[in-house]
Structure 1
Amino acid sequence: MADSDQMTEPISDSDRLIAVLQACFTELSQKQDERTERLHRAVEALQPQPPVTDKKTAFWNSYMKLADEHDKEFQQKYSTDLDTALIFAGLFSAVSSAFIIQIQPLLPSPAPIIMVAVLSLLYISLFTTLLAALLAVLGKQWVMYYQAAGSRGTIEQRGLERQRKLDGLRKWKFDTVLQAFPLLLQLALLLHCPCIDFA
């Protein structure tokens, strides 16, 4: 009797099914937790990293931001000035050439001194205009070369390259040279004015 009481009752099919389902559910739950963890890590990897806070990088970031603002104003100012100088020089050199072509055939063989002086002033005016045009073209190339600074390398390398070119502009008195263009064109105009009466 005692032995028969200690015998275990057989497990029913429904209990087996419940046990299997619980095992499956536990396994699915573990896999789901693993997938959730992987998904969280992937999302964190895609999020933007916080900016680097070391002083060197912060300095170059600030430098390049201010440099970009300065260079944008620099490019707008000098490109417009140089374009205007080139247009004026082109038109004025055409006018000066027309005056020279009109006056030179009228010179008698023993040319009076006044006529020689007028023709000389016209040639000097034309030369001054062409010199201003040449310098304006060189100025445009200089500005384009400067604008190409800092297009490659790390932010520090780009900043150093840009600063080197800015120091070069200052060393070669770029502002002073550009301010000479209007003076050259005004000089050419002043030399040309006395010659109008002889055309």
Structure 2
Amino acid sequence: MERVLGVLQDSTIALKGGKDDRSRFWGVYKRIAEEHNGEFLEQYNGNMDIVLVFSSLFSAVSTAFIISMEYKLSADPSNTTNALLTQLVQIELSNIAEAGSTPAVPASTFSLTMSDIRIQMVAYASLSMSLLTAFGAVLGKQWLGYYKSNRYSRGSQEERGKHRQEKFDGIITWYFDAVV
């Protein structure tokens, strides 16, 4: 066994460094790419998390504001309930003629001003934009998840490095920074 090891050490079949220039390049590429990916993914995932939290809080506040405005602008439901109860009482007292002569629901005094309409438009537009922002942040996180995934973890180090570079080139080509 010692003789075999001695022959292998003196052999020119295996290089002294154990790697040729191409293998060393892909080894260095992998190390640098992992450092870059770690920083890149940490930064953008953190940004997407902040956007999602902010847009969800803003959506909740906008929705509460819209609901309170709708309640203030709508006709008072207690008036309708009182009118219907009055009609039922009149029917019960066998005063059907009088019950039919009064309107079931009183005439509404509901009216909207232009400022009410404008405020509603702004409220619904802000809610829509907030939800669109949350949708964009989720798409951005999915894009980062695809970039991070190692679907092609098989193959040589060179093939994995080329696949990683293709994904990185796609992020540059599709202007990930500007889109996000």
Corresponding residue for residue 60 of structure 1: 26
Corresponding residue for residue 44 of structure 2: 78
Query: Is structure 2 residue 89 aligned with structure 1 residue 87?
Result: no
Query: Is structure 2 residue 79 aligned with structure 1 residue 113?
Result: no
**Cα distance in 1 for residues equivalent to 2:17 and 2:140:** 39
> What is the identity, as a one-letter code, of the residue corresponding to 2:38?
K
Kindly name which structure, 1 or 2, has the bigger radius of gyration based on alpha carbons.
1
Match of 1:157 among 152, 156, 159: 159
Match of 2:172 among 154, 170, 173: 170
Query: Is structure 2 residue 138 aligned with structure 1 residue 137?
Result: yes
Alignment check: 8 A CA contact 1:52 1:58 kept = no
**Cα distance in 1 for residues equivalent to 2:55 and 2:25:** 44
> What is the identity, as a one-letter code, of the residue corresponding to 2:177?
D
**Cα distance in 1 for residues equivalent to 2:140 and 2:154:** 23
Alpha-carbon distance change, 43 to 101 in structure 1, aligned in 2, over 3 angstroms: farther
Query: Is structure 2 residue 127 aligned with structure 1 residue 126?
Result: yes
TM-score w.r.t. length of structure 2? 0.69
TM-superposed deviation, 1:103: 0.2
Alignment gaps of 5+ in structure 2: 9-14, 75-109
Per-residue Cα deviation, 1:13-47 (whole angstroms, up to 9, x for no partner): xxxxxxxxxxxxxxxxxxxxxxxxx25647999xx
> What is the identity, as a one-letter code, of the residue corresponding to 2:22?
K
**Cα distance in 1 for residues equivalent to 2:7 and 2:67:** 78
Per-residue Cα deviation, 1:111-138 (whole angstroms, up to 9, x for no partner): 1111111011011111111111111111
**Cα distance in 1 for residues equivalent to 2:111 and 2:16:** 85
Greater percentage in helix:
1
> What is the identity, as a one-letter code, of the residue corresponding to 1:112?
T
Alignment gaps of 5+ in structure 1: 1-37, 179-199
- Structure with larger RCO (C-alpha < 8 A, sep 6+): 2
Corresponding residue for residue 99 of structure 2: none
Alpha-carbon distance change, 101 to 51 in structure 1, aligned in 2, over 3 angstroms: farther
TM-superposed deviation, 1:171: 1.1
TM-superposed deviation, 1:151: 2.6
Q: CA RMSD in A?
A: 2.2
TM-score w.r.t. length of structure 1? 0.63
Corresponding residue for residue 98 of structure 1: 64
TM-superposed deviation, 1:65: 1.1
